[in-house]
Chains A and B, each alone.
Chain A
Amino acid sequence: MSLRERLASGSFAVTAEISPPRGASTSKITETAAALKDWVDAVNVTDNQGSNVRLASWAGSLAVLAAGLEPVMQMTCRDRNRIALQSDLLGASALGIRNVLVMTGDHPKFGDHPEAKPVFDLDSVQLLWTLRTMRDQHVLLSGRKLDPAPDCFLGAVENPFAPPVPFRAERLGKKVAAGAQFVQTQFVFDVPAFARWMTQVRDLGLHEQCGILAGVGAVRSVRALDYMRDHVPGVEVPDDVFRRLRAVPAEQAAAEGVKLAAEIIRQLAEIPGVAGVHLLVAGNEQAVPDILHSAGVRVSQEPGATDGR
């Protein structure tokens, strides 16, 4: 079942994330995709995440596709202008990549080439709008005709917790109006705050036009949590999450992180309008079966059966 079909069916959708390597090989991506393919509907392939150079998202997406899993090609506005972005969509669509996730992207300042030119020719709303127009109206941003038009399922991201909080649901509304068909959110640790955002999302009727996938991460250690709070823009970690992770011996922190993720998933699944979860586990993909199993999602499968590690 494709991600598009899963969301249309109304059953609980699960996506995860792969961060491509800093090197000219897709073998690690292939291996991870094979391990994940029985557990998730699709997997994101990040686009130079954190402004650090990695193997291209389109190339990683092709490797995922070849491994029998559906990729979600991430596309940021940071490094390419409108010419390159439109060209990339045509290439991806021609080679069978259907899901495209559009985001602004981190500023180059945070990555391994802080001296680079920040492009940001389009913003994420404008890029969604451009891609939808290419698909539905068969024209480029310039108005020139496309033959054939690309086929794509368009995704967006949103951070329900960042100021201005009252505007965050409306901002998703802009993205939906521009063409977003699904959205993946920033890490959810504070479930009540997320539920408040969802109330606004439902009031605007956005959950009926767009599959809402809540971001859930598995914390591996207190150190990883510290890093997330201090170095990942837009992530807020409540104090009780820290307390909980610190309360267990270091070697059990990862297991506690899995337990916490599973609990959050169970709570999120109860919120009306939530279509599924997006597991933010890049670098820790082996935790996916355990998280889903303890959350009671995909219960027909056993962790370890397809993991191969």
Chain B
Amino acid sequence: MTAASPVPVHPRLGTRVAYRLQQVLRPNAGYRWLGARIEAAGAARTLFTGAEKQTKTPLFGCRMCGQCALPVTGYVCPMGCPKELRNGPCGGVGPDGSCEVYPERRCVWVDAYDRAASQGRAVDLRLLLRPIDHRRWGQSSWLNYWQGRDDDLWTGDSGARPGASP
């Protein structure tokens, strides 16, 4: 969707630190209040969204899809996969774990599995991630997360209706 083609990126942030950060960013009443104030003011929203991009792009190769999957992918961005796969690797991964499209780079899902498994979180990769909403490109996923708009991104339950948005 964005101008740049997806390219696998190895995160610059260690796995343990990333999971700790997850605790810090977890939605609460304070964040919800803050998020609502930021969203109410156009300029603050632009500034905040820019800050998220400036933080996440160098760390994770974030492309600002606006619906962040990092917490369940070992903090490796699945949108760096040339096929933008959100539910695991394709069948073309090289024997050395390389991406079939960019053989000099490591498959994001090989990376995700190793990182998640290193912290006992490999089970996260079993979650079913729903199709993304392409209207959200460029939005702040932190604001979406705090406002509960991301609650439906993944599920462990196979019976749920895909794409049902709150």
Q: Interface on A for B, CB 8 Å cutoff?
A: 77-78, 82, 103-107, 109, 118, 120-126, 129-130, 133, 137, 139, 141-143, 157-159, 161-164, 166-167, 170-171, 173-174, 177-179, 186, 233-234, 236
Contact = CB atoms under 8 A, between A and B. Distances in A.
Interface in B95-137: 95-97, 100-101, 107, 109-110, 113-114, 117, 122, 125-126, 128-131, 134
Secondary structure at chain B's binding surface: helix, strand, loop or mixed?
loop
Interface of B: 82-97, 100-101, 107, 109-110, 113-114, 117, 122, 125-126, 128-131, 134, 158, 161-164
B93 A137 contact: no
Most buried by B among A104, A133, A170: A104
5 contacts: A123-B87, A125-B87, A143-B161, A162-B92, A163-B107
A174 B92 contact: no
Contact of A104 (B85, B107, B163): B85
A123 B86 contact: yes
B131 A157 contact: no
Given A137-B161, A143-B164, A177-B128, A123 B85 contact: yes
B161 A126 contact: no
Contact of A162 (B91, B114, B130): B91
A142 B85 contact: no
Contacts, number: 120
A164 B163 contact: no
B110 A170 contact: no
Nearest to A162: B93
Contact of A167 (B83, B88, B134, B162): B88
Contacts of B89: 162-164, 167, 171
B126 A133 contact: no
Nearest to A163: B97
Nearest to B91: A159
B83 A118 contact: yes
Nearest to B157: A177
A144 B128 CA distance: 22
A167 B122 contact: yes
Given A118-B83, A162-B89, A173-B126, A130 B162 contact: yes
A106 B49 CA distance: 34
Nearest to B96: A163
Contacts of A170: 125-126
Nearest to B78: A123
Nearest to A164: B113
Contact of A139 (B96, B128, B161): B161
A174 B131 CA distance: 15
